[in-house]
A and B are shown apart, each in its own frame.
Chain A
Amino acid sequence: MVDNHNITTIQNRLSELAKLPKMKANSSIMDVLNEHGFTRRDFMKWAGAMTALMALPASFAPMVAQAAELSDRLPVIWLHMAECTGCSESLLRSDAPTIDSLIFDYISLEYHETVMAASGWQAEENLEQAIQKYKGKYVLMVEGGIPDGDSAFYLTVGSKGTTGREHAIHASDNALAIFAIGTCSSFGGIQAAAPNPTNAKPLHKITNKPVINVPGCPPSEKNIVGNVLNFLLFGTLPALDVYNRPKWAYGLRIHDLCERRGRFDAGEFVQEFGDQGAKDGYCLYKVGCKGPYTFNNCSRERFNQHTSWPIQAGHGCIGCSEPDFWDQMGPFEVPLGDRLYHTVFDGLGADAISDKIGIGVLAITGVAVAAHALIATATKEKE
């Protein structure tokens, strides 16, 4: 339920945004769409889809549309820290429908090393000019973990040898809103996995400003774009969970809406990859699926425009949007409650906690298996 107060707040926010001077004359998203042959109807359909995606009531669709039309006022600076560029690649896949890529064109992407034409001194100039010109008005998106402390120099950018850490702080200090895109910048990611040889940190440990975490390795294109709209719509930070992840995207476990959930409840499990259960789409829990411990909307939104997602492709979830999942969720093809060995890290941290969860789930699984067997037997007897 959304009360009228919320709607009024949002409408006030939108009308405030509408009063701002446009950065580009006569170029709302709607104009751009018209140029590309998109009708108002196409646009509203898309806004409706995005509304549902953000778990908002359908009555919000017109406001989502309005928010999108206003998003041309948002300059975006995207920084690359210690990363693999997978999050940028994910952003480039955005197409839900095709107009997401137009938003990508349309927000003013002031600095993005993988896409921008300028190099060297000219690139650095773009960054500094954008920070000065749009001080307090740009959205900062950061991809990658950030080497810190004695090893901050393990990442430098630019002719002055500025550390990634300094870049991140400088850009954060002047940003309107900060999104940590991907698990690396949200939680440290792969480079921060034990023994973290570069002392890599998540962005929120580098800056004092609030950071919205958009984890996933990589996050789906929808989670990246949806967050920009969420910000525009509410004009403030979205509702967050304990790890500062927007609840609209990370409020449910993978397990909750999994297409194989029925198999889990029925006690039907893939015992090993390639077996008959795998061919029949049984639950992947026993080959290590971390869906029960992972909060993300993959089971709803999937990847690459709904083409697939790991569980559809027969592989368990590896828990990539959870903090420290590289250390806590591995081995990825073994159930958490059924570990055959301890890591070199002497089972510190993760093991103790996840074993308890895992054993709990296994116990439930055992009950489910028994129940399934009983039902099966009963059915047979009837025949």
Chain B
Amino acid sequence: MSEQRIVVDPITRIEGHLRVEVIVDENNVVKEAYSGSTLWRGIEVIVKGRDPRDAGFMTQRICGVCTFSHYRAGIEAVENALGIVPPLNAKLTRTLMNAALFLHDHPVHFYQLHALDFVDVVSALSADPKKASEEAFKYCDTPYACGADQLKLVQDKVKKFVEKGNLGPFANAYWGHSTYKFTPEQNLIALSHYLECLRLQRTIAQAMAVFGAKQPHPQSLTVGGVTCVMDLQSPARLGEYMVKFQEMADFINRAYWPDLVMAAKAYANEPSVVNDVGTPNLLTYQDFQIGANEYLFDGGYILNGDISKVFEVDESKITEEATRSWYKNDAPLHPYDGDTTPNYTGFKDAKTLNAKGEMEDSKVFDLDGKYSWIKAPRYDSLPMQVGPLANIVINYAKGNKNVVPVVDKFLAETGLPVSAVLSTLGRTACRMIEAKIIADNALKALNNLIENLKVDDSTCAKYQIDSKKEYKGRFIGNVPRGMLSHWCRIKNGVIENWQAVVPSTWNASPKDAKGQMGSYEACLIGLKIADLKQPLEIIRKIHSYDPCIACAVHVMDTKGNELSSYKVNPNLI
């Protein structure tokens, strides 16, 4: 056999629409990889010409998973442009909402979206609940929902479900795949936590809604501050937040952490989760304000995985290009000056390997041309990897006091060297470590808020938008999926342009003019796939980034092109 081409579309258990294609050699080793989004929505075009105060509400609809990130970014980019400094109460309230987002996103990603890549549900059915309970104590002194009786209930429930023969959302997965490494008992522990997380994600969503009105799509931020002043003045509401926060924090310490230690040990020698750094250049940004001048995480970047040297971020070096993306202007441009007009060139016809192992007519990426709605952001013309892995590694390298002891503890418990962090397993573990650091520290923001409320009850800064003046500003921060930035220009009192450079764009970037790959693609190269009909290893790696694709497909048009020019000629397809 010579080379074969495999298409994985849709990549499920993510936000949005993503396709991955790989070409494997005769030994099933990936030689080439392509990741591309198959949806374009155009929100930045839609924001143009509108009241800057509306931008946050519209950019928020970029994503219902990162449901607070783009709202905050949309509001704070305008604040930055107008030179507004919100009151400390507002900043800390935003932090508390952000904390609820992280504590929602990270566990849900691991259990609901990623865990099935590690956990074989079918195998859990043959576990001995008593042994499983004993196993749980190896990773935690007080394991969560892991008593033998509890585990028996979980097992019985799932058994009945499976026996009915209709697996619903669990149908047709890669159960029994040779690269699953957990014992039946370990699978049962994780399965119990899968169900617990389903319950707790509602609780932590409520915590955000205490200040945010609702989740998804909270609605209490305004340019200049926050509007939930009555909630802030109510000790009952502050307490409600605290209790719901603590419930999830407890789960993180007693389930999420031990499960990752368990996974790190079980999968330490599995090639599809170790030894792949993806893009070795890591980038993050200061964020998570917990006091007047105190941040939980610092910013910076490192090159080639060298943690001995951390550089400061220079925002003028950020560009995006579209050589391999379905847009017209290929050249790398700074987000303030970006130009994007759709240029959809479609798929090509080819035969690819289907789930039965037969060659089937398919539509495939044009490997020599454009193949994604995602553009290619670069820092100083280099691809970067963003996300919890970048954030934790850079902060560890900088000696951040909130980060170093937690990472050291994890390495000690798993027996892994620091270098092992640069991997699929590391991405998944760093997400948990980031969640734990927030779980352990974010209530400092609540304490500081309460202290501040005693002397200052302001929640909004006053400002005016002068329609004769031109403004430009940006938000840069670090959200659950990594470094996020929004860039805006305001003219005549309305938005002249808007650009979002989002975490998934960095990681899911297609190739650039120099052929440099984004991190999704890079981490797949050299991967050996056990069974070409069931490419579990591919989705395992891709899921480790927590892909969130709706945000990554965007567009900006600063040149005032006619809107009719967005039409695509179907003959090209």
Footprint of B on A, CB under 8 Å?
A: 23-25, 27, 35, 80, 82-90, 92-95, 98, 101, 105, 108-110, 112-126, 147, 150-151, 153-161, 164, 189-191, 193-198, 200, 217-218, 220, 272-274, 278-279, 281, 302-305, 307-315, 318, 326, 330-334, 341, 343-345
Query: In the complex, are the beta carbons of A331 and B53 less than 8 A apart?
Result: yes
Given A157-B10, A195-B46, A312-B213, A341 and B51 contact (CB-CB distance below 8 Å):
yes
Query: In the complex, are the beta carbons of A151 and B566 less than 8 A apart?
Result: yes
User: Of B201-209, B279-287, B385-393, B507-515, which binds chain A?
Assistant: B201-209
Given A25-B164, A305-B202, A84 and B61 contact (CB-CB distance below 8 Å):
yes
List A contacts of B228 (CB < 8 A): 313-315
A33, B67: Cα distance in complex, Å: 32
Query: In the complex, are the beta carbons of A330 and B54 less than 8 A apart?
Result: yes
List B contacts of A95 (CB < 8 A): 199, 202
Query: In the complex, are the beta carbons of A161 and B347 less than 8 A apart?
Result: yes
User: Of B24-32, B168-176, B517-525, which binds chain A?
Assistant: B168-176
Neighbour of A218 across the interface among B64, B361, B533, B539, CB < 8 A: B64
**Chain B 543-573 per-residue mask, 1 if CB under 8 angstroms from chain A, else 0:** 0000000100001000000010011111001
List B contacts of A118 (CB < 8 A): 12, 171-174
A200, B153: Cα distance in complex, Å: 46
List B contacts of A117 (CB < 8 A): 12-13, 116, 121, 169-174
Q: Top 3 closest A-B pairs, CB basis?
A: A86-B64, A344-B49, A274-B460
A159, B11: Cα distance in complex, Å: 11
A87, B550: Cα distance in complex, Å: 14
A157, B17: Cα distance in complex, Å: 7
Query: In the complex, are the beta carbons of A304 and B214 less than 8 A apart?
Result: yes
A66, B220: Cα distance in complex, Å: 40
Query: In the complex, are the beta carbons of A197 and B555 less than 8 A apart?
Result: yes
List A contacts of B467 (CB < 8 A): 341
Query: In the complex, are the beta carbons of A108 and B233 less than 8 A apart?
Result: no
Query: In the complex, are the beta carbons of A160 and B363 less than 8 A apart?
Result: yes
A101, B228: Cα distance in complex, Å: 29
Chain B contact patch, size range: 35 or more
Query: In the complex, are the beta carbons of B63 and A84 less than 8 A apart?
Result: yes
Query: In the complex, are the beta carbons of B354 and A121 less than 8 A apart?
Result: yes
Identify 30 residue pairs between A and B in the complex whose beta-carbon atoms are under 8 Å apart, listed by A's number.
A82-B41, A85-B64, A86-B64, A87-B64, A90-B64, A101-B199, A112-B169, A114-B12, A114-B113, A116-B170, A118-B171, A120-B8, A122-B173, A123-B172, A155-B39, A160-B361, A191-B46, A194-B46, A197-B563, A200-B41, A273-B224, A304-B214, A308-B214, A312-B231, A313-B211, A318-B219, A330-B51, A343-B49, A344-B48, A345-B49
List A contacts of B173 (CB < 8 A): 117-118, 122
- List residues 46-95 of chain B with CB under 8 A from any CB of chain A: 46, 48-51, 53-54, 57-58, 61-65, 67
How far apart are B68's CB and chain A's nearest CB, in angstroms? Answer: 12
In this complex, the member of A89, A274, A303 whose beta carbon has the largest number of chain B beta carbons within 10 angstroms is: A274
Query: In the complex, are the beta carbons of B166 and A23 less than 8 A apart?
Result: yes
Given A25-B164, A159-B7, A278-B229, A197 and B64 contact (CB-CB distance below 8 Å):
no
Given A87-B64, A155-B17, A314-B228, A303 and B215 contact (CB-CB distance below 8 Å):
yes
Interface SS of chain B: helix, strand, loop or mixed? loop
List A contacts of B15 (CB < 8 A): 84-85, 114
B112 within 8 A of A: yes
B526 within 8 A of A: no
Query: In the complex, are the beta carbons of B169 and A115 less than 8 A apart?
Result: yes
Query: In the complex, are the beta carbons of B38 and A341 less than 8 A apart?
Result: no
Query: In the complex, are the beta carbons of A273 and B217 less than 8 A apart?
Result: no
A93, B57: Cα distance in complex, Å: 21
B503 within 8 A of A: no
**Chain B 210-240 per-residue mask, 1 if CB under 8 angstroms from chain A, else 0:** 1111111111101011111111010000000
Given A122-B355, A195-B563, A197-B566, A310 and B214 contact (CB-CB distance below 8 Å):
yes
A83, B64: Cα distance in complex, Å: 8
List A contacts of B16 (CB < 8 A): 80, 85
Query: In the complex, are the beta carbons of A153 and B346 less than 8 A apart?
Result: yes
**Chain B 428-471 per-residue mask, 1 if CB under 8 angstroms from chain A, else 0:** 00000000000000000000000000000111101000010000
Query: In the complex, are the beta carbons of B210 and A308 less than 8 A apart?
Result: yes
How far apart are B202's CB and chain A's nearest CB, in angstroms? Answer: 5
> Who on chain B is nearest to A90 by CB?
B216
A109, B360: Cα distance in complex, Å: 28
B157 within 8 A of A: yes
Neighbour of B206 across the interface among A112, A119, A305, A332, CB < 8 A: A305
B493 within 8 A of A: yes
Query: In the complex, are the beta carbons of A120 and B64 less than 8 A apart?
Result: no
- List residues 17-45 of chain B with CB under 8 A from any CB of chain A: 17, 38-43, 45
> Who on chain B is nearest to A305 by CB?
B206
A25, B211: Cα distance in complex, Å: 44
Query: In the complex, are the beta carbons of B157 and A304 less than 8 A apart?
Result: no
B127 within 8 A of A: no
Query: In the complex, are the beta carbons of A313 and B220 less than 8 A apart?
Result: yes
Query: In the complex, are the beta carbons of B231 and A318 less than 8 A apart?
Result: no
Query: In the complex, are the beta carbons of A279 and B17 less than 8 A apart?
Result: no
Query: In the complex, are the beta carbons of B222 and A333 less than 8 A apart?
Result: yes
How far apart are A35's CB and chain B's nearest CB, in angstroms? Answer: 6
Query: In the complex, are the beta carbons of A150 and B10 less than 8 A apart?
Result: no
List A contacts of B153 (CB < 8 A): 35
List B contacts of A309 (CB < 8 A): 213-214
B336 within 8 A of A: no
Other 8 A-B pairs with CB < 8 A, given A121-B533, A198-B566, A341-B51:
A83-B64, A85-B15, A86-B67, A93-B202, A274-B225, A274-B460, A309-B213, A344-B50
Query: In the complex, are the beta carbons of B41 and A191 less than 8 A apart?
Result: yes
Query: In the complex, are the beta carbons of B166 and A108 less than 8 A apart?
Result: yes
A279, B362: Cα distance in complex, Å: 60
